[in-house]
Structures are given as C-alpha cells and as structure tokens.
Amino acid sequence: MSQLNPRQQEAVRYISGPLLVLAGAGSGKTSVITRKIAYLVKECGIRAQYIVAVTFTNKAAREMKERVGMLLRGAEGRGLTVSTFHNLGLNIIRKEHKRLGYKPGFSIFDQRDAEALIADLMHKDYGGDDGVEGIQAQISSWKNDLITPEEALQQAKTPQQQTAASVYMHYNRTLKAYNAVDFDDLILIPVLLFRDHPDVLEKWQFRIRYMLVDEYQDTNASQYLLVKMLVGNQARFTVVGDDDQSIYAWRGARPENLVQLKEDFPNLKVVMLEQNYRSTSRILKAANTLIANNPHVFEKQLWSELGYGDPIRVIRCRNEDAEAERVATDIQMLHLKQGIAWKNFAILYRGNHQARLIELKLQHHQIPYHLSGGTSFFSRQEVKDLMSYFRLLVNPDDDNALLRVINVPRREIGPATLEKLGTYANQRGVSLITACGEMGLAEHMEPRYLERLQRFARWLEGVRQQCMQGDAIAALRDMVSDLDYENWIRQNCSSDEIAAKRMGNVWFLLDSLKATMERDETGETTFEDAIAKLVLRDMLERQEEEEDADRVQLMTMHASKGLEYPHVYVMGMEEEILPHRSSIEADTVDEERRLAYVAITRAKRNLTFTFAARRRQFGEIIDCLPSRFLDELPQEDLEWEGTEDVPVEQKQARGNSALADIRSLLGR
C-alpha cells in the first residue's frame, strides 16, 4: 500500500458502497484495480471466487490477471474471474444454456460469419445482398441498445428500417436453429435472461459479491445494464474510467454512463486520480488546456512530478510526402545521434489510409516498424475457410465450422434448409453432421435438399478417412482440388493477381501443417495435434511479435489508447482529418477532441505534431487548414517549424548539414 499515493489508497480501501474512480491518463488505474482485488481478499475476507473484474480487451484482462497473480499467492487467488465483458457473458450463457434453450457446445459467430448469414438471408428473401454491412451494423446497434426483433419491427418507420428489422427477425431465428449466438448476443442474452428470470439473476448476484469494471467510459447500454443487474441493491462495486478518453461512440460507447451512475446510485462516492506517472508537466498542460474546451460533469486536472519537459513541436510541411519524409528522417536522426531504441517511437494518425506513405518512407530509410491493426495470417478469409474444413475433419461435431464451409464453394444449400437442419438437430440433441445421417430428417425437408446435405456429409467422411489412414497432407491437397477452391477464389476476387495471392496463402497453410507434423522427432504428431499446434503457434507468435521486437510503432489514435511511448509523432493535424470531416458535419467535434487528448497523453517525454500545407485528394491538390486543436493548445509551450518562408539556400544548407551528420554517425 505504501507505494500508492493518498488518492489511490482511498480508492483501494473504500468498500462500504458504490465507487467511481475517475482516473486520468497515466494515473495508475490498473494498480488501483489489482491492489483492490488483493485488499478485498486479504483484508476484507472476501474469497477470490466471489470477485469479478471485467475489462474490454483480452490483453488488458491478461495483464490484470498477471499483476493480481503477483499479489495473491497460491490458494488465495483461486476462482478469481478476470475477463472481458464478452467472456463474462459467454460464461453466463454456458452455465444457463438449458434455461436459454441451447445445446452445450453452441457456436459463436464472428463478424464475417454473421455477415455471410445475413447475405444468404437477403439473397433468399430479397434476391440480392445490397447493403449487407449497413443492415449488420443496424442489427448490432439494436442488440447493444437491448432492442429485440419484435420491438425493432414496431419502431421501424422507413422502408429501409422495416427491411433491416425483418432480416433481424429471420437472422435471430436462424442463429437459434443453428445453436449459435453472435458477438452482441454475449451481452444481450444474459441481460434478457436476468430481466425475465429473477431467480437466475439472484443466483448470479450471490455468486458475484464484488465487481470491478475497467475502462467504464467505453460501456454501451447493454453492458451498463449487465453491471447494474449483477451488482443489484447491494451495489458492491468499483468502476474505473475517464470521460476524457471516451472515443468509441461510433461503436455504441456511452460516456454518459458515468453520469447515469450518479442517478442510479445516489450514494456513489467519486475519487479523482489526477497525478500522472507517465508524462512531463508540459505535455499534461497541453492535454488539460485542450480538453477544457469540452463540457464536463466531473472536472479534473492532470499533474506530474516528472519535470516541465521539452517544448512541443509543431511542424508544417509542404505536402503529405514531405510530412512523411520529415517524420522518418527525424526518427532516424534521434536513433543515430542519441541511441534511442526504435521501439521508443510511435507514429499516430487518424485513419489507416495515412499509414501507406509513412510505411514507404520507413522502408526507404530501412527503419524497422510494426503496423498495428494489420491483418493476421489466420484472419484471412481463405485461411479461415481451410481451417474450418480442418476443424471439421478433426471434429465432425463442430457445428460452427460446418456452417462456415457448407456453402464454400456454393452447394445450393440455402439458409432455409440449414434452419430446418438446425431445428431438427436441436430437438434431437445431436450435431448438425449427425443429423444429416438420421432417417427422421426426411420428414422435415424435400428429398433434393436432403440429398445435398447427405452428399456433403459422405464426402466429408471420405476425406476424413483418407486423412486418418494415409498421407494427411496429400489427402488435404486432393480435398482443395476436389473443392475446385481455386476457381471459387477467382470468382470472388477483383483480379487474378489477388486470387493468386490468396491461393498462395492456402498452399502456405498446408506447408505449415506439413512442417508441424514433420518437426516432431517422435513421429507421433497426429493430424489433430498438428492443427491444434498451428492455431496456438499463430496466437503465441503474434503475442511475441507485439511484445519483443525493436521497431517503430505505427497505429491509429484509437488503437493507441492504453499505450505509452517516450517519443510520439501525431501526423495529419489538419481540419477534416482531425477533427474528421464527418464529425464536423455531424457536430461531434467533442469526440474528436477526446481523441486528440488520448494521442497527446500517450507521450512520455517528447511530442511532435505535423501537418501538410497541401494534400492530394481525389486526384487534385487542395490547400489544407491546420487543425483547430493546435490553436486550442497553450501557445507558449509550442515550437513551430516551417511556418516562415525560409530562403532556398538556407533550406539546402540545413538539409546538407543534416545529411553530413548522418554520414559521420554511420562512419562514411
């Protein structure tokens, strides 16, 4: 406890009622949550199995678990739940599957699976799938706002809304028939279950004696209600959040949930964490001054004991090319002159499209970098398809894998047939593939549809036997050829070049599987083991890649939340980029200001803003205005570059001097 400041100690020790900890950026909120869990177990006698801590990402949950593990030894921490909101929802559905009418081992549809199902339903009902993404987003928004299909139909005013509500109804029914849920259901279903069955809610309230919620400002309507239900009248909870870092309104987050807490729990105690352990005072002054332009229910001022620090640089560049070049050479100079490791630099931008140019410049200067948010190998569509086939071959009862590939390539097995199959399988309590072989299924569908299902099941079993009995890799290559998968890819690609790349990924996956099987000296790695290892390896490699490599970090401002770097460059500080054009039009500039605040508070020592005087857009060159947020910063703390018209000779001399410095450092 001695390592905590007085405010942090107050937040840890207060357990007699509901508590909101308003934790500014870099104020040690994770320490407060982890110490509080230890305090509840060691000092308050609450067993770990009755404590639940929830956050938003697996990474944050993993980090929290590790830190709690250092404070609680052995049996002390047994049974503690530290998870994401969605994992908590998943556990509730698993435990209550009978009450909810699901078989054990139900499937979870990711965004792509959901999109494919909605597209199929729209093909069947409307003869096309125009606007699938919009309808999926609408369904997701309804689920997050706890609106059922029946309510959506009642509320629909426009023909578009009526179509979306009708698809929503059909989509939900089909999911249930498939014994599946989607990502949004993981919160919605427990909330509806608790609302309709007070006895189940009471059981879970008894099971959760104390609840802690991290990043509370990012909760949506359904997540807030889930927390409110679980804590009940006892209200034994601590939520930690920062209204100034609420940047996810576009995906349903409601910073007003912080205000709602005060209304729902009148005896709520509020503790402010304002001491920052990350940044210099100058950086914090800039952040405080900027965010003061937003309306606040809770006022706070970040402060630091880490010294005043260097001026904040604002660099005006001729165009976007010059901007990317300047950032790349600046980083190179600091690395060479001061020996700063590459991983201590981060380059932030508003949208992913801004990364292309800076990537090229870093490559040109041979600067290693890591691009956050890049597509992992295993999340590519063709790899997911093949992995689903592999999973089915290993476990034919994997319903989710079957649903993903039964129409890849198309076998004319439509959603209506699959809904009937799913309903029958549910009633019989068997998997979809087992149901295909049962005689009773013939009573529920036309012979031609039944024949298609049975043909698929027979073919799959044939491939499976080949894999188990002979050369598994050869059998899989035959399977890819048998599927005519290459032709299927070609039909779904905009060019032959893209199709060739995607097929290259398929062959790479088969080679990786082969290598995994051959690498085992005992010769005992089965086909099943190899597939499990492949998935695990991908997860571990990505994790290590993220954590260990010495590379400059490139990411969007949204992706930077929760991270910190000694040297931060924020690119594209222009009107219509930050704040974004859409937010200016929609009058939601406050959210963009919070995003700029998040970007500023990532910097520990040095902060640099860059913007272009001119930029190419849609084939023409336009003049750019510097972002209004630059005007809102304390001008006495800014050091502007590039705003004066420097004579050409002077610029050349400056450039030659910089090159000479680099050469001398390289010993050339």
Residue 378: its pLDDT value, please? 65
211 — phi, psi (to 5°)? -125, 140
Find out whether 11 and 276 touch, Cβ atoms under 8 Å: no
Domains present along the chain, CATH in parentheses: 6-93+195-273 (3.40.50.300), 107-178 (1.10.10.160), 303-368+550-666 (3.40.50.300), 378-545 (1.10.486.10)
Average pLDDT (370-393) is 78
Among 417, 410, 326, 198, CA closest to 613: 326
Is residue 28 annotated as involved in ligand binding?
Answer: yes
Instruction: Give the pLDDT of residue 24.
Output: 87
Q: Is residue 645 scored above 70 in pLDDT?
A: no
Higher pLDDT, 175 or 540: 175
pTM above 0.75, yes or no: no
* Residue 30 annotated in ligand binding: yes
Contacts of 623 (CB under 8 A, 6+ apart): 613, 614
Q: Is the pLDDT of residue 192 over 60?
A: yes
Evaluated on CA atoms 653, 654, 659, 662, the torsion sign reads positive
Average pLDDT value for residue range 151-164: 87
pLDDT-wise least confident of 59-73, 112-126, 176-190, 566-580: 112-126
**665 or 627, which is more confident?**
627
pLDDT at 430 over 90: no
Query: What is the per-residue pLDDT for 540?
Result: 45
Residue 249 confidence class, pLDDT cut points 50, 70, 90 = low
Average pLDDT over residues 238-247: 84
pLDDT for position 226: 93
**Is 599 part of any known ligand binding site?**
no
Give the residue, 340 or 254, on which the prediction is more confident: 340
Kindly report, residue by residue over 482-511, the tens digit of the pLDDT.
888 888 888 888 778 888 888 888 888 888
HSE, side-chain direction, 13 A CA sphere, residue 463: 25
411 burial (CB, 10 Å; 0-12 / 13-18 / 19+) is middle
Percentage of the chain modeled with pLDDT above 90: 35
Band of residue 629 on the pLDDT scale cut at 50, 70, 90: very high
551 belongs to an annotated ligand binding site: no
User: Residue 626's pLDDT is what?
Assistant: 94
**How many whole angstroms separate alpha carbon 307 and alpha carbon 124?**
65
Cβ atoms of 608 and 317 closer than 8 Å? no
500 labelled binding-site residue:
no
Cβ-based neighbours of 404, under 8 Å, separated by 6 or more: 113, 116, 384, 385, 388
Select the more confidently predicted residue: 67 or 520: 67
pLDDT greater than 80 at residue 130: no
Give the pLDDT mean for 371-390.
Answer: 76
- Output 532 or 385, whichever has higher pLDDT: 385
Q: Is 29 annotated as a binding residue?
A: yes
What end-to-end distance do the CA atoms of the chain give, in Å?
54
Average pLDDT value over all residues in the chain: 85
Mean pLDDT of 126-137: 77
Q: Is 616 labelled as part of a ligand binding site? A: no
Would you name the residues annotated as active-site residues? 29-30, 214-215, 245, 602
Looking at residue 414, its amino acid is G
Question: pLDDT grade, residue 658 (50/70/90)?
Answer: low
How sure is the predictor about 87, in pLDDT bands with cuts at 50, 70 and 90?
confident
The whole-number average pLDDT for the span 292-309 is 88
Contact 214/60 with Cβ under 8 angstroms?
yes
Mean pLDDT of 559-583: 92
- Report d(CA 187, CA 395) in Å as an integer: 28
318-335 tens-digit pLDDT: 999 999 999 999 999 999
User: For residue 299, is pLDDT > 80?
Assistant: yes
Give the integer Cα–Cα distance in Å for 443 and 392: 26
The candidate with the shortest Cα–Cα distance to 223, out of 197, 250, 256, 257, is: 257
65-79, 350-364, 373-387, 518-532: range with lowest mean pLDDT: 518-532
Lowest mean pLDDT among 119-128, 230-239, 431-440, 530-539: 530-539
pLDDT at 287: 94
Task: Please report the pLDDT score of residue 484 as a whole number.
Answer: 87
The DSSP 8-state label assigned to residue 601 in this structure reads: T
Is 655 annotated in a binding site? The answer is: no
Q: Does pLDDT of 147 surpass 70? A: yes
562 is known to lie in a ligand binding site: no
Q: Is the pLDDT of residue 541 over 50?
A: no
**pLDDT tens digits for range 391-429:** 888 778 888 788 888 888 888 888 888 888 988 988 888
The answer to which of 252-261, 421-430, 499-508, 544-553 has the lowest mean pLDDT is 544-553
Residue 252: is its pLDDT beyond 70? no
> Residue 480, SS3?
helix
